[in-house]
Structures are given as structure tokens and as C-alpha cells.
Structure 1
Amino acid sequence: MHDIEAIERATLAAVPPRGQETWNDWLLAFDAGTVGRCHSATPLRHEAPAARTLAGLEERYAAQGLATVLRVPELPAFDAFRSQLGAAGYVRTKPTLVQAGRVGELAGGMPPAVDVQLAPTAAPDWEQVFLGEGFDPVDGASRLAILRRGADSVFASVREQGRTIAVGAACFSHGWCGVHGMRTLPAHRGRGLAGAVLSALARRAQERGVQRCFLQVEEGNARARSLYAGRGFTTAWGYAYWRKEEAKT
């Protein structure tokens, strides 16, 4: 079994919410942006939640002036809890896979032919991919602001004819390399740019002595899942967001 708590804490190190709290083996993130991981609660152990878990989580999010949003693993241990959520008016949405792998496989066999630049911050040209054609600018701006708060991160970019066309980021925390923010402009997809970005991030992880890597990908994103499978990622567990209709992830 992968180190669940380390992965969850490393996730929030990369996309830090404005506030967070550990309560009864749950990690609670408090924020108002569009990144679901930054304003949802997730368990640090994959064991059946205690009887009053939902009530306690709702109290804590209410105290922050936020709707309660949960990331619940799609595992048998949470069957009864998911039934409780459904009975309380929560709705399952956005099924997502947590995938893990080895940095050596992520790096690939040969250095990429594509020139990938690495920087400690997200420069304006890196940002433009998030805000560019084919992406939601509001969501992109929110994600950028959160990624910028990440500790010990590196930002990768591929430039062509003076324009950044593909980006990605990695955060080194809790013994893991977490991959985040992978985006390629629609007109440049299918050229192996994302793979080159992954290789560059993995080589930086190797320089840091980090051996394990993880990422999160929406279950329905077949293109990304195929790319990650080719680099040795396998699914550690899946989860879905649970929220009431008025809450947003």
C-alpha cells in the first residue's frame, strides 16, 4: 500500500490552501478557489469513518464559512459512508484517480529531443498556457495563484517561436515528486511535448534523490491516462468529490 498520508500532504504542499487542519485522521483544506483539492476534506487512512465523521466535518467547514466538500476514496471501506452522504443530499462528481510510479520510469530511456526549460517560479509566459485558448480563464487564474504558493516546486515549459506551448510543474514533498499543472495548447497536442515535460521534471527529481512520483488525473481523461501509463504510473486508488448541489469543487 502506498503511503496515503504522505501523498495527501504532498498534494497540499503543491497546491496549498489558505488554511488546513487535521481532524480525526482527515485532512481538511480551506480555500475559496476553483481547485477542488484546496477546499475539500480527505481521509488520511483508508478505513471506515467513525459514526459522527460527517457531522464533525460539516461543523468545521461551516466555521470557515465554506460548504462541505469531500474527496472520498472509491473503496469498500467507504461504502457505508457514501450511502450516508447520499442520504444527506450529497452528490458524487468528478471521479479522479491517484496514480503512482517510479521516477526512473517517468524519466524515460533517452533525453527528450524537445528543449524543456525549468524555473523555480511560474513566469508570465508559463502562465499564458493556463490562460490561453482551450482553457477556462477563471479556473486557470485560480490554479495559477494556488500553484504559485507551492513550496519547493519547479515549473517546466516548452517554447517554440518565442511562445510557450506546453507546461507542467512538480513539487518535492514528503518523499514524493508530485506532478501537477500539465497542460499543452490544443494546437500542439500529439507531438510528445507533455512527455518531454514529464522527462524533464523526473530528471530534476532524480537530481534531488527522489524516487517516487504521483499525480492525479480525472478518470475520463483517456489521453492523459494513456500518457501516464506509458511512463509506469498505475492507479493507487480512486476517489470522487461529494458535495451538495450548492457547493462547487
Structure 2
Amino acid sequence: MTGAEIEAIERATVAAVAPREVLEIGGWLVALNAGTIRRAASAVPLSHDLAAETAAFEQIEAAYAARGLAPAFRIADAPGLESVRAELVRRGYRPEQPTLVKVGAAAGMIAAARGEAAAVSATPDAGWARVFISEGFDPADGAGRVAALTRSPDAVYGGIAEDGLTLAVGVAAFGHGWASVHGMRTDASRRGEGLAGRVLAGLAGAAQARGVERVFLQVEEGNAGARSLYRRAGFTQAWRYFYWSR
């Protein structure tokens, strides 16, 4: 991908998870937030070709410390960031939680759906939020994600309900020329029925209504089920990153 596309995706990623505060330091976007959403609480380089600068690391660490937060970084395993990774190791950080950034198109998301596309609204309701704290999900983590995703600027909320009960949800946020998918959740009792694909289709329709065709999302490398879903919807890997923490 081009440097401009990488920067746009990183800026759109941070905006969508709505951290309480964001700084820009020496080519880094520094998301400052408490809670379990790591994209909202880590520093990410805006380029995949950035040399390590001691002063920038010190400023970033000081920003987290000043707010009582543990410093963390989100680093692509691109060759141009080799010196950054080496500096993180030198400073006592270690990589974990490999995650894939995938890119696709709204048309592919719609074509892959098995059934009617999910309904989409400008605001989430209580049923939408319930899915995040339903059986099988961590309640504290779910509550934090609901709070962050409902703060997302310029977002829409997809959901599938039956008999008044919401069963599958997702969010599409818009910014920097992209639609981004976040918060995909399906009630544990109804997985494997194609509901998530219908949510993707609903979000894709909302993107096309805005004239946006390019879509990206992020999925943990070990989440085979989600990766299979996104593959069927036409998503391909753009890059992989790790979180780095002490």
C-alpha cells in the first residue's frame, strides 16, 4: 500500500475507537486511554518507513506516565520499522497479540452475504449494546467497547434482531476516505448461521450510500473463524502488526 493509504488507515483506526486523548509526536499517533481496547491505548507510527528516535520514545513514554497509563506501541512487522522494533526491545518491550489489517470492498461484502443485509442505524440501542455483554463475552471489556464505539465520530451501527432480541452487531466508521469495520459480535447461541456476514453486508450498503467503496478491518491472527468470514467477503491482508508492552 502507499504511504498515504497507510497513514489514512492508521488515522481512521484511532478515530473510530475514540480514545479520550490523541497526541502527535515525531511521526507517531499516540492514543491515550484507559480500558481494554488496545488500539485506543497505544502509539502507532504513521509510516512503515520510520527510523527510531530516542527523543520520540521518551516523549511518548512520558505522555503515558503523566496520565497514569502504561506505555504501549502498535507496530507493523514492515522492514522499514526494523530500527523501531530494535529500540523497543532495547527499552524492555516485547511483542504480543499478532493482528492482521485487511482491506476489501463494499461490493464484496454484499455479494458474500447469505441472506438479507442487516438493518443499519445512526445510533445504537440497548439491544445492540446487550450483545457485547452477553454470555461468552467479558462484561467489563464489552461495556468499554460499547462506550468507545458509541463515541465514534461519523459511524453507523448494524444489527440483526429476531423476536425483539438483537443477535449480531457491528460498526462501520467513516474517515480519511475509508470505511472501517469494528465491534463485530454474534450471540454465542447463534454463531455459524451467517449472521455476521449479513451485518457486514448492511454496513457495506451504508458505505456505498456515502460513496465509499474501500473498507478495512483488523482481526487477531489466531481468530480462524473471523478470518474465514472476512476472506469470503473479499478481504486480503495489507499488513500484520504486534502490540508491544513491558
2:235 counterpart letter in structure 1: F
RMSD of Structure 2 on Structure 1 (CA): 1.5
In structure 1, the partner of 2:108 is 105
Matched, 1:199 2:192: no
Q: How far apart, CA to CA, are the structure 2 residues paired with 1:211 and 1:116? A: 18
Which structure 2 residues correspond to residues 124-203 of structure 1 after superposition, within 5 A?
A: 124-203=126-205
Identity %: 49
Deviation at 1:80, TM superposition (A): 3.0
Q: Distance in 2 between matches of 1:104 and 1:115?
A: 12
After TM superposition, the structure 1 stretch with the greater mean CA deviation from structure 2, 117-126 or 50-59, is 50-59
- 2-structure distance, mates of 1:170, 1:75: 27
Give the aligned length: 243
1:48 positional shift: 3.3
- Asked if the contact 1:103–1:202 (Cα under 8 Å) also holds between the matched residues in 2, the reply is yes
Instruction: Establish whether residue 83 from structure 1 lines up as the match of residue 73 from structure 2.
Output: no
Q: CA deviation at 1:189?
A: 0.7
2:38 maps to what in 1? 36
Deviation at 1:42, TM superposition (A): 0.2
- Asked if 1:56 corresponds to 2:23, the answer is no
Give 1:210's match in structure 2, choosing from 209, 212, 215: 212
Q: Which stretch of structure 1 is more off in the superposition, 54-63 or 122-131?
A: 54-63
> Paired residue for 2:69?
66
1:10 aligns with 2:7: no
| Residues 40-87 of structure 1, C-alpha deviations (whole Å, 9 max, x = no match) | 000001113233132232122223332110001111222232232223
- Contact 2:52–2:87 at 8 Å: present in 1 too? no
Q: Which amino acid aligns with 1:81?
A: V
Distance 1:113 1:221 in 2: 24
Following the alignment from structure 1 to structure 2, what is the Cα–Cα distance between the partners of residues 234 and 26? 25
Letter of the 1:94 counterpart: Q
* C-alpha contact (below 8 Å) 1:168/1:183 kept by paired residues: yes
Distance across 2 between alignment mates of 1:148 and 1:167:
13
Q: After TM superposition, give the deviation of residue 112 of structure 1 in Å.
A: 5.2
The one-letter code matched in structure 2 to 1:123 is: D
Q: What is the CA-CA distance between 1:13 and the residue it aligns to?
A: 2.0
Q: Would you say 1:20 and 2:22 are equivalent positions?
A: yes
Q: Give the drift of 1:30.
A: 0.6
Aligned to 2:235: 233
> Retained in 2: the 8 A contact 1:114–1:193?
no
Shift of 1:93: 1.2
Output the amino acid matched with 1:44: L
Give, in angstroms, the shift of residue 221 of structure 1.
Answer: 0.5
Question: TM-score, with normalisation over the residues of structure 2?
Answer: 0.94
> 2-side partners of 1:205 and 1:113: how far apart?
19
Unaligned segments of structure 1, at least 5 residues? 245-249
**Secondary structure of the corresponding residue to residue 225 of structure 1:** helix
Tell me, yes or no, if structure 1 residue 93 matches structure 2 residue 88.
Answer: no
Give the whole-Å Cα distance in 2 for the aligned partners of 1:81 and 1:118. Answer: 41
Alignment partner, residue 247 of structure 1: none
CA contact (8 A) 2:118 2:201 kept: no
Verify the 8 A CA contact 1:95 1:240 in the aligned structure 2.
Answer: yes
Equivalent residue of 1:195, what SS?
Answer: helix
* Aligned amino acid, residue 229 of structure 1: R
SS at match of 2:29: strand
